[in-house]
A = this chain, B = another copy of it.
Amino acid sequence: MTDQDVTASSDVAELLSQASSALERFQIMYSVLRDRICMLVYPPGTQLSEEALASEFGVSRSPLRKALQILEADGLLLSQQGVGTLVTEVDLQELSQVYELRLELNELTGRLCPRPLDQKLVALFDSLKRRAERLSAAPDRAVFARLNIDFFHAFQQLTLNEPLRDVSEKLFYRTCRIWLTLIDEKDLPKEVTIFCGEIVEIANAVRLGDYQAAALIRRAHLSMGFNRLKTAIQRSADLKAS
């Protein structure tokens, strides 16, 4: 069972009961909740109930709260006594600062501690390429979002610098929701086409072992993507005002 399947699993209580240590149980709850937040199962502004979640997961509030507290430190949740635990909104100001940093970190991923190219890595990007082709044929928001997450993780494999991977991952999860919240059905095919192009290009660069080229391509797409985001935000703000 892969990690994606774990986080997407519906019977979390079952998984938790099979976990052998407190650390494992924490990781399951953390992954599941983060995944739900990023896949908009819990859209921004959603109020989570500790009681209800603990009940669903088959644990008491104590261990659940640890997962919630780390997610709060990650900037995905906000808990307040007497109010509740709310999924944070994504704010343009904050988003643009995170994106600016991600652009630079992305370049480092292609430069620091490069992981030697092996068949496994090539195969990973190939499988993403195939998934991208299937997505192109039948655009779907959830499939798009999932591929976006998995592609991010594949890209992170290019570096062996663990602190860089950790930092990049936190920042990624802080921003990736914005796509699902802003891209409407009409824009989806266009975005899918662009994204699949990116995957193909980067997979080719990786196959050649040129990680810096891969990073440059990704940086370009991140930058262009952020610009498209800004116009989408502007558009939705105009829509709201009218």
Contacts and interface: CB of A to CB of B under 8 A. Distances in A.
Interface residues of A, number: 23
A22 B79 CA distance: 11
A220 interface: no
A239 B97 CA distance: 47
Contacts of A162: 94, 97
A181 to B, nearest CB: 19
B100 A113 contact: yes
Interface string A102-120: 0010001000110000000
B101 A112 contact: yes
Contacts of A112: 100-101, 104
A164 B101 contact: yes
Contacts of A98: 163
Contact of A113 (B81, B97, B163, B171): B97
Nearest to A73: B70
A30 to B, nearest CB: 10
A157 interface: no
Interface in A16-70: 21-22, 66, 69-70
A20 to B, nearest CB: 12
A150 to B, nearest CB: 23
Contact of A108 (B69, B73, B104, B161): B104
Contact of A73 (B73, B104, B113, B171): B73
A25 to B, nearest CB: 11
B100 A161 contact: yes
27 contacts: A21-B81, A66-B69, A69-B69, A69-B70, A70-B70, A70-B73, A73-B73, A94-B162, A94-B163, A97-B113, A97-B161, A97-B162, A97-B163, A98-B163, A100-B112, A100-B113, A101-B108, A101-B112, A101-B161, A101-B163, A101-B164, A101-B167, A104-B104, A104-B112, A163-B174, A167-B167, A167-B171
Interface of A: 21-22, 66, 69-70, 73, 81, 94, 97-98, 100-101, 104, 108, 112-113, 161-164, 167, 171, 174
